[in-house]
Each structure stands twice: as structure tokens, then as C-alpha cells.
Amino acid sequence: MTRILITRPLPDRVIEAATDRFEVEVRRNTAPMSVAEMRSSLVLYDGVLPTLGDRYSEEVFAEFTQPRCRILANFGVGYNHIDVEAARARGLAVTNTPGAVTDATADIGMMLILMSCRRASEGERMVRAGMWEGWHPTQMLGLHVTGKRAGIVGMGRIGQAIARRCHHGFGMEVAYFNRSARDLDFPARRCDTLTTLAETVDVLVVALPGGAETRHMIGAEVFAAMPRHAHFVNIARGDIVDEDALIAALKAGEIAGAGLDVYEREPKVPAALNALENVTLLPHLGTAALEVRESMGLMAVDNLVAFFDGRDVPNPV
């Protein structure tokens, strides 16, 4: 029977769907796999269902020409932790789970916009610390979101979902930076450069895929271009942002605040970020809802089933 490794605990419904079709082993450790574990997975299993942090790099594949494993069915839409070319060179297919994550991630993006602009984390810390002395007219004044200008970096599925929430929900003007123009069902202005976009927005949101092409795409030049009252939000991948440049911009008052769900060296969060009051920090909650994680897992299982049935996989990368 076809042997499958699931590299992290997943919802029961997903495990049941996988075991109905395959001989399944679930790795119970919630931390990413080590290089040794990943190498072993390539020789012990016919397919692997990995996820964020399981770095199937060239180093992992180096000693193999054609391992037993034939497919990496990634749990998640982002797959920059997998060297896709190295996998293909050894005869492995790679799939992901687009669509299932779109609305949940966009919701977190909108939540971070509101939390950062309205200083929600700072206010909660004040209440929990017993420091709140009561309402007064000039306490904790933030940025009113309705009617403001949102800039979206990366107008893919998730970027568009965030933009729709901004436009339809909060009457915001939308501008975006993307490699190509998009045919959109809402009004939006495309900017030719990142700095041009940054100069004109009240909130800048990153919704790009991770990888070598986008690493440190958001850095000091972008933050310097933003208005001093503007806020920055990242729900994509941490290494898209030069975290040191972000910290410097926040400390210098170049931008008013930031809302982050991802980090450059995740799960490590710099002490300097923790120390700043004008930053909202979340523990990568983008898809953290049971029905969403079930949908992601079932999509990954569908990819596995299609592959081993000899059919085209629904979600190749």
C-alpha cells in the first residue's frame, strides 16, 4: 500500500481522509523537520505532506538521484520552503493548496489594518496592566480607516481579497504594485514602482509570495517613502521585509505603526519589535480556523489521491 508521511498533526478529518486511501504515518512533533528527517522521508515514503518550515532544500535532495518519494503535497499555498527545481530534478511532483487560504488570510490582513491604525494592541496592554484611568477625548488617538488609501503589494488572490474588503467594507481607495496589470472587479490604480505606491497610501499591505525573488523587497527605501502617519501590514512571508529596516523606521517615526503576522526569522521575534508599543504582533494566525485548516488538508490529500491514481494533480506548482 502507498505510504504517506504527514509531517505535523493535522485536524482529525484530514487524517481520516488520508488513512481511507493510504498507509499514513503522522509525525507528532509540531516543530519543523530536521534535515535528517527530511532525507529519511524521501526514502521511506511514497509521498510526503509537508508544511511551512519543512525546508526541502537542495541540501536535502543532494544525495539522491531518484528517491522513493514521488510527491511533496504541501499543506499551504506558500511553498518557498521547498526547492521546487531540485525536487523536479529528482522526479518529484510538488503541489500546494491555493484558494482554501484566501479569505481567512485576507480577514487577518484587515484585522491587522484595524488593530494597527486604531492602536488596539496598545490599548489592550494598557487595560490588562491596570493602567487605564478612564475615557477622555484625546486618549490613544489613532488613524481613522474609513475612506483612507490602501496600497496592496502583490495583487494575487489574497491581495485582491484584502483590496475588496478595503474598498467595499471601508470605502478605501485602492492602489497596487504588481508585475502586471490586473483585470479587477473593483476600482484600483496600478503604480509603476513600490516607492510610488508607498508615497501615496495611508496603509501599505504586503501580499506577495515568498522566495528569492521577493526577499527584502520591502526595505528602508519603501519605509522612507511612506507618509509618517502611515501603517505597514505583512500577512505574506517574513523575509519579504528587511526586519531591521522596519524596526529602524518605527523607532525613527518614519511610519506610525505596523501589524505583523509573519517574521523574517520565524518563530524568533526580535526583542526590538517586542519593545515597541506601535506594533501589533500575531503568531502567524493567517489560516488558523478549523474549517480552513480542514479545507487545506483535504486539498492536499486530493492532490495525493490524484497523483497516485495517475491523474493530473489539481494544484501543481
Asked if 264 and 122 sit in the same domain, the reply is: yes
CATH of the domain at 213: 3.40.50.720
Asked if 268 and 303 sit in the same domain, the reply is: no
Q: What is the pLDDT of residues 158-197, one digit of tens each?
A: 999 999 999 999 999 999 999 999 999 999 999 999 999 9
Asked if 86 and 131 sit in the same domain, the reply is: no
Residue 149 predicted with pLDDT over 90:
yes
Whole-angstrom Cα distance, residue 31 to residue 28? 9
Q: Is residue 317 part of a domain?
A: no
**Under 8 Å between Cβ of 81 and 72:** no
Residues 6+ apart with CB under 8 A from 129: none
Full residue range of the structural domain in which residue 296 is found: 3-100+289-308
Number of structural domains (the chain) is 2
Asked if 115 and 247 sit in the same domain, the reply is: yes
Catalytic residues: 237, 266, 284
Distances 22 to 35, 72, 144 between C-alpha atoms, Å: 25, 15, 52
Asked if 203 and 303 sit in the same domain, the reply is: no
Asked if 141 and 217 sit in the same domain, the reply is: yes
Asked if 148 and 82 sit in the same domain, the reply is: no
Q: What's the predicted TM-score (pTM) here? A: 0.93
Q: Is residue 251 part of a domain?
A: yes
Strand order in the sheet with 173-177: 189-190, 173-177, 149-153, 203-206, 231-234, 257-260, 279-281
Asked if 211 and 143 sit in the same domain, the reply is: yes
Residue 27 predicted with pLDDT over 90:
yes
Asked if 28 and 50 sit in the same domain, the reply is: yes
Query: How would you class 136 by CB atoms within 10 Å of its CB: exposed for 0-12, middle for 13-18, buried for 19 or more?
Result: exposed
**Can you list the positions of beta strands (E) in the chain?**
3-6, 23-26, 47-49, 71-73, 93-95, 149-153, 173-177, 189-190, 203-206, 231-234, 257-260, 279-281
Q: Is residue 113 part of a domain?
A: yes
Strand order in the sheet with 93-95: 23-26, 3-6, 47-49, 71-73, 93-95
Asked if 91 and 115 sit in the same domain, the reply is: no
**Under 8 Å between Cβ of 160 and 213:** no
* Grid coordinates belonging to 40: 529519511
Q: Is residue 94 part of a domain?
A: yes
Asked if 138 and 248 sit in the same domain, the reply is: yes
Q: What is the pLDDT of residues 222-265, one digit of tens each?
A: 999 999 999 999 999 999 999 999 999 999 999 999 999 999 99
Asked if 70 and 133 sit in the same domain, the reply is: no
Residue with C-alpha cell 517574513? 238
Percent of the chain with pLDDT over 90: 99
Residue 211 predicted with pLDDT over 90:
no
